[in-house]
Chains A and B, each alone.
Chain A
Amino acid sequence: MAAEYNQNMEFFVDMQRCIGCHACEMACAECETNGQESMIHIHYVDRAHSVQTTVQVCMHCEDPACANVCPADAITKDSFGVVHTANTSRCIGCSNCVLACPFGVPKKEEKAELMMKCNMCYDRTSAGKKPMCATVCPSGALYYGTREEIRKMRADSDPVQTFKFGNETVRTKVNIMMPKGSTELKVH
């Protein structure tokens, strides 16, 4: 196959552009491997005060807590930096990963007794396509492309991949778009 996973392509999330339409969730759920469940999640921050929504997708951490705490070695990070969803033959449904993830990403599918999370649409991205959520996103809240492209298009923002949770620093493959000049996001 000519097309393969292109490491120059990155995932960018810009919360302020999210319009809460849920197209990403619905498109994600269409994936054959997801059983009509979405691996990306949209929530109102506080609907009584605002229509602001948040979008949470797996951040694909450099040193993924979910994989580190997995007692069954079901979660692996590949050489491209994609943290894969639990290997179904290994996952024991213990929910360690659900508790450990600083971004609250993995969800345990109770019916299947399995953890499921985003694998950056590996079937698509490894074939030169964009992940489904970032393909359909109508507002640009989710974007998949090169760092050069996004810098050129959005000169007022900078992509951030470093997150401070108290004293803990987490670096991720996925970028969050922040005001120009930002280098990290302090969560606490």
Chain B
Amino acid sequence: MVDGRYLFNNFMAKLPTSVQNIIAQYGPTKAYSPQEGFGGRSEPDKLVKTHCCFCGMQCGIQLKVKSNKVVGFEPWMEFPFNEGRLCPKGVQRYLQNNHPDRILSPLQRIEGKGFEPIDWETAMSRTVSEIRRIQAAYGNDAFAMLSGVSLTNEKSYMIGKFARVALKTANLDYNGRLCMVSAGAGNKKAFGLDRISNSWADLEHAKVIMICGTNVSETFPTLTHYIWQARDNGAKLIVVDPRVTPIARTADLHLPVKPGTDSALYGAMLKILVDNDWLDHDFIDNHTSGFQETIDAVKNYDLSWAEKITGIPAAKIMEAATLWGKASTSFLLHARGIEHHSKGVDNVVGCINLVLATGRIGKPYCGYGTITGQGNGQGGREHGHKCDQLPGNRDITNPEHRKYIAEVWGIEEKEMPGKGLSAYELVEAIHRGEIKGLISICFNPLVSLPNNNMVREALEKLEYFVAIDFFLSETARHADVVMAGSLHEEDEGTVTTAEGRVVRINAAVTPPGNARRDSDIIMELAKRLGAGDKFNFENSEAIFNELRAASKGGTADYYGITYEKIENNMGVFWPCPTLDHPGTPRLWEDRKFKTADGKAHFNAAPYRDPGEITDDEYPIVLTTGRVVSQYLSGSQTRRIGKLLDQYPEPLLEIHPKLAQQYGIKERDLIKVITRRGEAEFPAQLVETIREDTVFIPYHWGGNKSANLLTPGTLDPVSKIPEFKVCACKLVPMGVKSKPAEESNAYQSV
């Protein structure tokens, strides 16, 4: 990638009409409840038990339905994870239903006009003929698919099968590539399996909790309860984060790590464990491999070196290692803060090394895991809509795995495409002109991928782009055809929560107008592409039953899970290989790891710099993240009035000492420039961030997108982009920003 190449090209990108015209018709519009509430809320037709769509916690919630519309919610006290607790997104999630921006029929792009409704026959036949034309002219892999893990397990599975069996393309990837693939890759290296090791029940009793790069209270608010339960039970809390987040504010120990240096911290801590013999020799000797090479790699990582690299005072690193080393029980959790790096996998295995060295896994109150971000971030990454994966978390390059899945699908193994491109690489291939057609669902790359300017140019180069969506996302604005799909509450199925619990999503209402369920759209397309006999599913349970068979014998084995079993048990933890198996809330009690040698693997992670380091031209570290009131690219939550009012526009968090160097005052408008692009944000002066780092949340699009700035540097193993660190410069614009309440940042102009 040649940096700077896309910087001034964004004006060339073309929409069918002005962005203002598109916004006037399709939003985002701020939705509020009427003052007196929606009609019929006090006497709903039904209360539907389901789960919130907005993060991997998958809090139980009951939706109030009146006349086929979701009109409110009622806490679901009996669901064991959250017992009624919700975050503001959960409280307001019902407002995405019955929303004025909802796409009610298929649309097609009309140059100079925007979009106009079309019938399904036109949308389907045009799409199928474009797929055939492009594949005939350029080869099957020239038509790609992008998917996402807000989809149920059933849809994730079906899309993996659709891309390989009906679309016959290798190029399918998903937005989990921006989420937890570094964790998945690290876990597979260490354990041969990709799931948190314990349920949250164990977290409540751990004596030391270390949370690394996870803003728990804003991104997984309901998990905060469990951390406080543990603290009430005597746990010490260590938080590693460049910012004093709400969970860091009261922590026993906060390590304000310089972005991009995490693996140096974990390496130095491992050396302290070794130097002080805070090791579980029995576990290391009998159940692990790679220990010696791994500790050899950190033998020079002394405290003064670590302090210099990470910016964390040596005494604090020592204190953290001492707390961890001497703990009787412990739980280590991480999330995107350490995973969104060109060293994401190194950071993850660095954490796992600390867990393995102390042998605190596979025992009561001893656990480790990533906190999955998206609604179905766990289940969605197991069943085959990753470019390199087949159901059951199988490997698409493994001949035996291919053979098994080909049999389940009723195709010849040689017909099955191979490994395709990962999400960002796939968009780069579009930009290079190698991929000509795209079908997308549940993915808004024009906001969520780094280097937005490149993504926008790529979308404009497509010969045909069809988006399945319920709102016209920033990405779908560039589509040729939009197929009106279904909201979370309009389809049913299962999802797998961040603790590995498979739960039921129940449909509350049917899709409005001429919108259709996503699963019906995919099945219809499959039929028209000549694979109808492979997609003849009567309902979501039929898809799940095929998924069960496809996952059987894989590491993510769902065979023993049925809809009935889920409903009777408030969820079932995979692996669950047989019908009489109770599920597995706690992994590794048998010490039989899923690696080739059956042992847990230490992995050496020698320190290296992030992809971009500061220099004279770009002297400040930029990091990005989330706020509590918004979810991911904001396509849903930027349409809910109260969530926007809580935090209306992205702010540039900057330490007063750094601000002083530039003469920056509160709400001064600041242009942030990187080698990819530039954007302007109001300054927010806060002492809760490192003095060398600025922070911008990424939920907004258009000229307020933090991802105009972020780099497309990828982890070599996981292919996750480095959202969490790059170099920037700040240019004060000499004016104050207009008041926040007047901001229209939510519209993505």
Query: Does A138 lie within 8 Å of B222, measured CB to CB?
Result: yes
State which size class the interface on A falls in: 20 to 34
B37 proximity list for chain A (CB < 8 A): 30, 32, 36
One of B33, B86, B91, B687 near A48 (C-beta < 8 A): B687
Query: Are B642 and A51 in touch, CB under 8 angstroms?
Result: no
Give chain B nearest CB distance to A16 CB in angstroms: 6
B232 touches A156 (CB 8 A): yes
Known: A135-B85, A139-B228. 13 other contacts (CB 8 A): A17-B224, A21-B88, A22-B628, A23-B91, A36-B34, A47-B684, A51-B249, A51-B688, A137-B85, A138-B85, A138-B225, A140-B224, A156-B232
Chain A residues with a Cβ under 8 A of chain B: 16-17, 19-23, 25-27, 29-30, 32, 35-36, 47-53, 130, 132, 135-140, 153-156
Alpha-carbon gap, A50 to B249, bound state (A): 8
Do most interface residues of chain A lie in helix, strand or loop, or is the interface mixed? loop
The 15 listed contacts between A and B (C-beta, < 8 Å) are A17-B228, A21-B218, A21-B628, A22-B646, A27-B91, A35-B35, A48-B666, A50-B687, A51-B245, A132-B75, A136-B75, A136-B90, A138-B86, A139-B225, A153-B232
Residue of B nearest to A30 (CB): B72
Kindly state the separation between the CA atoms of A138 and B646 in the bound complex, as whole angstroms.
Answer: 17
- Give, as a whole number of angstroms, the nearest-CB distance from A111 to chain B: 10
B contact residues around A27 at 8 Å (CB): 86, 91
Cα A100 to Cα B246 in complex, Å, equals 33
CB-CB under 8 A from B35, the residues of chain A are 35-36
- Chain B residues within an 8 Å CB radius of A140: 224-225, 228-229
Please name all residues of chain A whose beta carbon is closer than 8 Å to the beta carbon of B229 when the two chains form the complex.
Answer: 140, 153
Are A138 and B91 also in contact (CB < 8 A) when A32-B41, A51-B688 are? no
Asked if B250 and A32 make an inter-chain contact with CB atoms under 8 angstroms apart, the answer reads: no
Once A36-B32, A153-B232 are accepted as A-B contacts, the answer to whether A138 and B249 lie under 8 Å apart by CB is no
The interface residues of chain B lying within 8 Å CB-to-CB of A155 are 232
Nearest CB on A from B625, distance (A): 13
| C-alpha spacing A83/B246, complex, angstroms | 32
Interface pair B246/A138, CB less than 8 Å apart: no
Give the residues in chain B near A50, CB-CB below 8 Å.
Answer: 244, 249, 687-688
- CB pair A30 B91 closer than 8 Å: yes
A35 with B36: CB separation less than 8 A: yes
Closest residue to A36 on the B side, CB-wise?
B35
In the assembled complex, the Cα of A172 lies from the Cα of B307 at a distance in Å of 49
Query: 4 tightest CB-CB pairs across the interface, nearest first?
Result: A19-B217, A19-B246, A138-B221, A139-B224
Taking the complex as formed, is B309 at the interface, i.e. its CB lies under 8 A from any CB of chain A? no
CB of A20 within 8 A of CB of B221, answer: no
CA distance in complex: A52, B688 (Å): 11
- Closest approach, in angstroms, between the C-beta of B111 and any C-beta of chain A? 42
B169 within 8 A of A: no
Report the Cα distance A47→B34, complex, angstroms.
32
Contact: B87 with A21, CB < 8 Å? yes
- Collect the chain B residues with CB atoms within 8 Å of residue A138's CB: 82, 85-87, 221-222, 224-225
Which A residue's beta carbon lies closest to that of B227?
Answer: A139
Contact partners of B244 in chain A: CB under 8 A? 50-51
- A136 and B232 contacting across the interface, CB-CB below 8 Å: no
Return the contact of B224 from the options A19, A22, A26 (Cβ within 8 A). A19
Verify if B570 is at the interface (C-beta below 8 Å from A): no
Bound-state CA distance A22–B642 (Å) is 10
The answer, yes or no, to whether B585 is at the interface (CB within 8 Å) is no
Q: How far is the CA of A48 from the CA of B222 in the complex (A)?
A: 26
| B42 nearest in chain A by CB position | A32
Q: Distance (Å) between the CB of B489 and the closest chain A CB?
A: 17
Do B84 and A136 touch (CB < 8 A)? yes
Binary interface encoding of chain B residues 492-536 relative to chain A, with 1 for a CB under 8 A from any of its CBs, else 0: 000000000000000000000000000000000000000000000
Contact at B33–A23, with CB atoms within 8 Å?
Answer: no
A19 to B694, CA, bound (A): 22
B648 to chain A, nearest CB (A): 13
Quick check: B91 and A26 within 8 Å, CB to CB?
A: yes
Which residues on B sit within 8 Å (CB–CB) of A156?
A: 232
Q: Is the CB of B92 within 8 A of A26?
A: yes
CA separation between A29 and B250, bound complex, in Å?
29
| A48–B656 alpha-carbon span in the complex (Å) | 9
Does B358 touch A at the CB level, under 8 Å? no
Q: Is B440 an interface residue (CB 8 A)?
A: no
| B247 interfacial by beta-carbon distance below 8 Å | yes
Q: Which residues of A contact B685 (CB under 8 A)?
A: 48
State A112–B247 Cα separation when bound (angstroms): 39
